[in-house]
Structures are given as structure tokens and as C-alpha cells.
Structure 1
Amino acid sequence: MIPLSVTLTIVATAGLAGCSQERDPDVYTVLNSSTDESFHRWDAEAMARCSKKLGITIEQQSVPAAQLLTKALRMASSKSLPDVLQLDASQVPSFAAAGGLVPLEEVGVSDSGIPEGIVKFGSYDGTYYGAARSVNTLALFYNKKILDKAGVEVPTTWDELRTTAKDLTRGKQYGVALSAGGAEDGVFQFMPFMWSNGGDETDLDSPEAAEALNFWKSLIKDRSLSKSTVNWTQADVNDQFMAGNAAMMINGPWQLETLDAQKNLDYGIATIPVPEAGDDSVAPLGGAVLTASNTGDSAREKKAGRVINCLTSRSEQTDYALKSSMVPANEQAAAEWRRQVPELSSLANQVAEGRSRTAKIGDRWPTVSLALQSAFQSALTGKTSTRAALEQAQERATSGN
């Protein structure tokens, strides 16, 4: 991850008020991370439809997700930003704070019909910068055959999850798998446990955050969660689940394509268990948003707004969500999506209570995330106590180091 200070310096000094190269008035570029063959094709098809509708050519440039921000920063420094930049929502605050983005209202993109949580997902300091076509979140996936054979129900509370995971741990099969790795995957997966317990990213060493981390530790202590969880990405977790090494897992809809390819795997999806019955299950919103780059050319920026409006229209959102198994951002599109894929309703319910990771702390999120990553590695491996690990995390988050 590029340090925030570097991001601010590169973008702020890039001289965004002008472009060093002359642009074709009929060609507009979208930079994204759709390098997966399916996602790249779906985006290309959507851009072809919008090109025809708008009477222009929309070109797609795709780079791996880990390289996208670096690529955008280099383009900013050479005054060659794309017209539309697709960012992970957690990156929006840093880029917006540095002046790299144009408020969407200024280019004719409205947040009408978008739930408040998803508007905040693409916002910084109260200003709407990123429009989502779809969003994702986390849920509890479970192997129906394994649970049925054991005669257990899908857990809905932490106590039930712990008991059920114990009952399902047999031989090489763990009861549950999740990612607690030292990367953003682990932090993303910790949020539902901390938030649903009343914890907050502004107070990492609170009793509520400690209880959430101690719950993870209890699963490891019971041996129903592998010690390797501290090394697993969400993709690793999915591999364990597909291989039958875990009866349940915490994961997201981006895994559905590979899960559905396993013809002998009969799985279900449920809301992530909560501390006590009746609590809200609050999970993080994930995904990308479309932003209008600050190119210094107001006419092009407004046309970029039209491109964003087309790509995020109800019909395009529904089409994209059905293909990708994500949840449409627009409320009416989401309602249509629910009707067509009722089996994914748990994901839609989880999105309804979803929160943005950056809503409260804005461009401080990368620092907070890194602090939590260190806390997981320290507490879950037994190097330090939960309290000491989270106190150190809060100190790091406060100091910015």
C-alpha cells in the first residue's frame, strides 16, 4: 500500500489543472482493475453499450488491483489521468483529499435512489465522489451436507457459532474458516465481529473490540479454527471450504463463481452470527466506485459524468450484479435483483446494514488497517495479550506510524 503522505504529495503536486497531452474529444478512458477475464468482458460489453448510447468511444484500461493506485498516481504526475477512474472505495478519501477527483454533483451524477450507507461508501468529508454499480460484503457460507449429517442448525449467535464449529471439527475438517491474515482481507473480516459488538474503528482498544478479537481466539483455542488463519487470504479460506477442510466460512460473493463450479458442493449462505440474539449483523461494504478524475478540462469532466451515469444506470447495475453476484447499489435495481436471485437474499440483507470502512476516519483508514493487521498477528499467535495488542494498535493509529 502506498503511504498516504506519498499519495498526497504526488497528486497534489501533479498540476491537475491542465493536461500535458491533447485528448481525442470522442474517446474517453476508464481505468479499472478488471483483469479477470469475466469481469473484463462484462465491463467491455457495458462500455460498448454506453459508447453507442452516448455517441462516443469508451476505452477500458485494466491493471491488477494492487497496481491500480500506483498507475493512477503516475498518470496524475504526468497529467494524463483517465477520464473515469475506478477505485476501491477505501482509496477514495486519499485521492479526493489530494484534489485528484471532481465531486460527482459537479458533473451531473446524483446519489438519488442510493442507500445512505452506499453513498457514504463513495464519499469523503461529506462529498460524494464515487458512484458504485454494485457492492459486496461478507456472509456465512456453510456446507449443507456436513451440517445436515451432523444434525446441527446454521448458527445465528456467537455462542451458537462456537458450539456448532466445535461439533463440526473432526479429523482434518475444521468447523469454520476465516481470514485473519496480516493484510486488508483480515481487517475486512474482523469488522463484522467488532462492529456487531458495538466496537468502533476510532477506539481500537475498547472492551468491545477486545471481546471480538477474543472470540476469534476462542475458536482457535477450541481447535475449530485453524492456527493458519493468520496466514490465510480470503481466497485461501475459499480453497479450504471447497476442499472440505472447513464446514463453514466467512467470505464474500466474489467466490460464488468458483463455488458454483464445484458440482458436488451444496452450500448455503446466511447472515454472519451476532454477539446476542436480536443484535444487528453489521458488515463492511466492499467493492469499487467510479470517479471523475480532475483533469482540468470541465467539458470532458462533465462528459465523464455522463459515462458514469450510463454505467451505473439501473439496467446496467442489474445486468452487472446478476453476472458478478454482487448487490446493485440502486435500491430499485437491488429489488429486481432480489426477485431474480432469492437464494442470495442474505447478502442483500447484510448490505442493508453495511458500513463503509472510511466513513468515520476518512483518509486515516490505511493507518488504522495496518495497526489492526499487526494486532491480529500478535494476539492470535500468542505473542502478546489481546489487550496489549489492541493498545499498541490504537497507539499506532493515533500516531500515524
Structure 2
Amino acid sequence: MSTALGAVMLLGGALGASAQDKTEVTFSYLWGGAEGAALEQIITDFNASQDKIVVKGVSSPDMTKQLASMSSAKGAFDISDNFASNIASWANQGILLPLDEFGLDTADFPESAMKQLVVDGVLYSVPIATHNFQLVYNKKLLDEAGVTPPTSMAELADAIKKLTKVDAEGNVTQLGLGLTDISAGLKTLGYAHGGDWNRDGKPTPTDPGFVEGVQFYFDNVVAPVTPAAYNKFVAGFGPYMSDQDSFKQGKIAMVFEGEWRAKFNTEAGMDWGVVQVPGKTPELNGSTWADVSTIFIPTNTQNKEAAGEFLKYLISPPAMEKFSHVLANLPGRLSLVDSATYDDLPNFKVWLDALKNPNTHGLPPALYMAEYNADLASAFDSVLQGAQTAEAALQGVADRTGSYSQ
């Protein structure tokens, strides 16, 4: 009896020691809901795949809390996610762990994504999902107006005219082309006109093509209905991607949108389609820009090696494919572009194909981005209000770039 009891105690002790030998990694992620559930399944799969590391997931959407943890002597997590726009600033603050030591193979990641995650030649973050903007349209409204989806800038201008409606009192009742994200839409038009608001890693708000793209929107959308009527109409738009969403409600016939719209539009029962962004010239067709959802390790992690192993698992093709599909986001790997996994997402192929399109631009990892985007937003508002031409408003931004953080 005593021998059997001793054996049980020895076994229990061994199991306890085994559990204690595992390195615990805390993965704090910004997502919740179905996205958070997808991550928890990936965590479960990782934990079951090996016996040296146990990952615990924590849904924490508070970015201020995230940054505070990274800035402290001992952080609350070992690995987390954010967006490419913060990488340069955080790397400059010394709160991101360089990832080069982990020997990651980045050849499969899109160039438009990678150029946003490498600062001064050092890799600080990796993509778990990517995003780009294409021209989404309401099939019903286009059919009623006898409009085919535009494939050139001239066709886009003509479609906008035919799809814009104003009542007898001068009130706008439908816009041919709307902006659910003003900055994203106008920047996309800038690229479509051959412009670049960050050329050669420097702010270039007066780049001729960029100015032309912003002016195109004013001339073809705002001016024909008057700035007053335009702004009165858009002020009544409901919350984005809700039952009152302006695109869902048929208040706008076309819009530059990201791939996440595929899932929302379909679940909303909409009859919709998408084409690549029309260019000013055929060579510029498909011009757009990429944003990146990233994974990083903070400098103050207490479990660097174990966090690195989990990071490798998160960005592996199977895990990335599973996660991006649940979110209806684009994968961060070129090898997944033709995966049948995404076939159940209607019209998704247009966004997927853009990952391999050389006209998909990536933004530089620059410290000035926050200031620059704030100034651009102010300039865009001035143009849409009819207070300034695109040239004058963007020249005002150019006059301020000399004071930006470098």
C-alpha cells in the first residue's frame, strides 16, 4: 500500500514539475468577439502542439493601457498586436524588441507590408493580416442608372455624375461616390492619379498627382451639388458598418473600402460588387495602399525566446490563414493569395490580387506620421468645405512639414 502511494506521489510530483517547467507567455490582443475566439483557438492549438510553452490569451482593446505596459520596467504581456502606423514611433522609444535574432523568413510577406515594419534596417514587427482599398459598388443602384462598374478615371467621373441625385430643393439624396473614411479615400485617389503623399520616405503633400486626386473628388462629387449641400448630406450618415451605414442604406453608390466590407455587405444581404481602383492611365489601374495588422514583442518581455516561438507560430501559413479568414482580412503571406479558404467570401479576390500588384503602395515607417495625418485631415476638411482648393490646402500642409519629428 505504501509502495503504491509512494508511486502516486512521485507521479504527481513529476507532473507538477513538468507543468512548472513550462514557460508561460501572455498574449495581450486588441480583438474581441469572434476575432478573439479565433485567436483563442489558435492559442489552444499552439499549446497542444508542444510541451515547453503555455500561452495565455488576454483580450485587452485599450491601446493606452497597452502602451503604458510596454513603457514600464516590467510589462504585463510578452507579445501583442497593433498597426504598422505605430511601429516607427515605438521603435524610436526603444519599447519594441528587434526581431532579426529570431531568424524569420520574410520572403513570403508582401513588400508593401514589409516596408512599413522595418525601421533603419531593423525588423520590429511582422504582419498577421493586411488590408487595402478597392472600389466597392451597389449593384442595384448602378443597374438602375444604367452604369457599368468603372475601369478608368474618365468612366469613374461619368458614373459619379449619373449616380448622384439631388431633389427639387437642392438637397442631396444620393452620392455617386462617398467617403466612409475621408483620409483613406482621398489618399487612394491620389495614388490613382499617379501621386504619392510620401515619396522617397518624405512627406510630399504637394505631389502633383496627389493634389490632382484630391481635386478630382471635389470637382466631381462636391462642387456639382455645392459644398453646403454635400456636407449637410454626409452629416446625416449613420454609424459605420451598422444598420444605418451610408453604403448599406443606399446613400452612396460607390466607395473606396477595405476587404472587411466583404463579410459585412454579404451578411447585410446587399447586392454588391467590387473592382480594382480605376487609374488615370491604364498603367495606374489598381493603385491603392496597404495597411498592416502586426504582431510584436515588447522590449520588457520576461520571456523573449518563448514569445519568439509563439510569434513564429502565429504567422505560420495555417494560423495566419485561419485568423485572417475569420476576420475577412487579407493574409500577410503571398503564398496564401490563391488559397481556396477565402472562396466563401464574395468578391474577395479583387483585394487578394492587390497583394501582388506593384501598384499597391506601402507607407514608410516615419516618426512624423501622426503629425502629418492630422494636418492632412485638416486640409481635406478645408477642401470638402469649399474653403480652399486642394492645391492651397495641401500647400499649407507642406509649409508645416519642416517642423515634423524626424
Q: The TM-score by the shorter chain falls in which range? A: 0.7 to 0.9
The structural deviation recorded for 1:214 is: 0.4
Cα pair 1:283 1:351 within 8 Å, conserved:
no
Structure 2, unmatched stretches of 5+, are: 1-19, 167-172
Partner of 2:119: 124
Partner of 2:209: 208
1:253–1:211 CA distance, 2 compared to 1 (3 A): same
Alignment of 1:177-216 (within 5 A): 177-179=178-180, 185-200=181-196, 201=198, 202-216=203-217
Partner of 1:223: 225
Would you say 1:310 and 2:317 are equivalent positions? no
> 1:275 is aligned with what amino acid?
K
Q: Distance in 2 between matches of 1:98 and 1:125?
A: 14
The structural deviation recorded for 1:258 is: 2.5
- Report the number of matched residues: 366
Q: Secondary structure at the match of 2:245?
A: helix
Partner of 1:3: none
The structural deviation recorded for 1:229 is: 5.0
The structural deviation recorded for 1:254 is: 2.1
Q: Distance in 2 between matches of 1:397 and 1:231?
A: 34
Q: Distance in 2 between matches of 1:386 and 1:320?
A: 40
Would you say 1:94 and 2:97 are equivalent positions? no
Cα pair 1:194 1:208 within 8 Å, conserved:
yes
> 1:240 is aligned with what amino acid?
S
- Worse-superposed segment, 151-160 or 104-113: 104-113
Alignment of 1:26-37 (within 5 A): 26-35=23-32, 37=33
Residue of structure 2 aligned with 1:107, choices 77, 97, 102: 102
The structural deviation recorded for 1:148 is: 2.0
Would you say 1:340 and 2:343 are equivalent positions? yes
Tell me which structure has the larger Cα radius of gyration.
2
Q: Distance in 2 between matches of 1:233 and 1:29?
A: 38
Alignment of 1:59-78 (within 5 A): 59-64=56-61, 67-78=62-73
The structural deviation recorded for 1:170 is: 2.8
Q: Distance in 2 between matches of 1:325 and 1:334?
A: 13
The structural deviation recorded for 1:286 is: 1.7
Q: Distance in 1 between matches of 2:236 and 2:55?
A: 40
The structural deviation recorded for 1:165 is: 1.4
The structural deviation recorded for 1:381 is: 0.6
> 2:183 is aligned with what amino acid?
V
The structural deviation recorded for 1:321 is: 2.3
Cα pair 2:325 2:341 within 8 Å, conserved:
no
Cα pair 2:278 2:287 within 8 Å, conserved:
no
Partner of 2:395: 391
Cα pair 1:176 1:248 within 8 Å, conserved:
yes
Per-residue CA deviations over 1:92-133 (Å, capped at 9, x if unaligned) read 111112111122221343313222222223222222221112
- Worse-superposed segment, 137-146 or 104-113: 104-113
Q: Distance in 2 between matches of 1:391 and 1:27?
A: 52
Q: Distance in 2 between matches of 1:388 and 1:233?
A: 31
Partner of 1:4: none
Partner of 1:173: 174
Would you say 1:326 and 2:356 are equivalent positions? no
Higher strand share: 2
- TM-score, normalising length from structure 2? 0.82
Q: Distance in 1 between matches of 2:239 and 2:214?
A: 18
Q: Distance in 1 between matches of 2:333 and 2:283?
A: 27
Partner of 1:260: 266
The structural deviation recorded for 1:269 is: 1.3
1:351–1:77 CA distance, 2 compared to 1 (3 A): same
Residue of structure 1 aligned with 2:151, choices 149, 156, 171: 156
> 1:380 is aligned with what amino acid?
L
The structural deviation recorded for 1:377 is: 1.2
Q: Distance in 1 between matches of 2:335 and 2:320?
A: 10
Alignment of 1:232-251 (within 5 A): 235=240, 239-251=245-257
Q: Distance in 2 between matches of 1:188 and 1:81?
A: 33
The structural deviation recorded for 1:71 is: 2.6
Q: Distance in 1 between matches of 2:155 and 2:364?
A: 31
Per-residue CA deviations over 1:47-103 (Å, capped at 9, x if unaligned) read 111122243322222333xx3155323442242152112121111111112111122
- Worse-superposed segment, 158-167 or 235-244: 235-244
Q: Distance in 2 between matches of 1:224 and 1:108?
A: 56
Cα pair 2:31 2:60 within 8 Å, conserved:
yes
Partner of 2:283: 278
Cα pair 1:145 1:266 within 8 Å, conserved:
yes
1:261–1:340 CA distance, 2 compared to 1 (3 A): closer
Q: Distance in 2 between matches of 1:224 and 1:137?
A: 30
Q: Distance in 2 between matches of 1:162 and 1:48?
A: 51
Structure 1, unmatched stretches of 5+, are: 1-22, 180-184
Q: Distance in 2 between matches of 1:44 and 1:313?
A: 16
Q: Distance in 2 between matches of 1:232 and 1:351?
A: 31
- TM-score, normalising length from structure 1? 0.83
Q: Distance in 1 between matches of 2:163 and 2:351?
A: 24
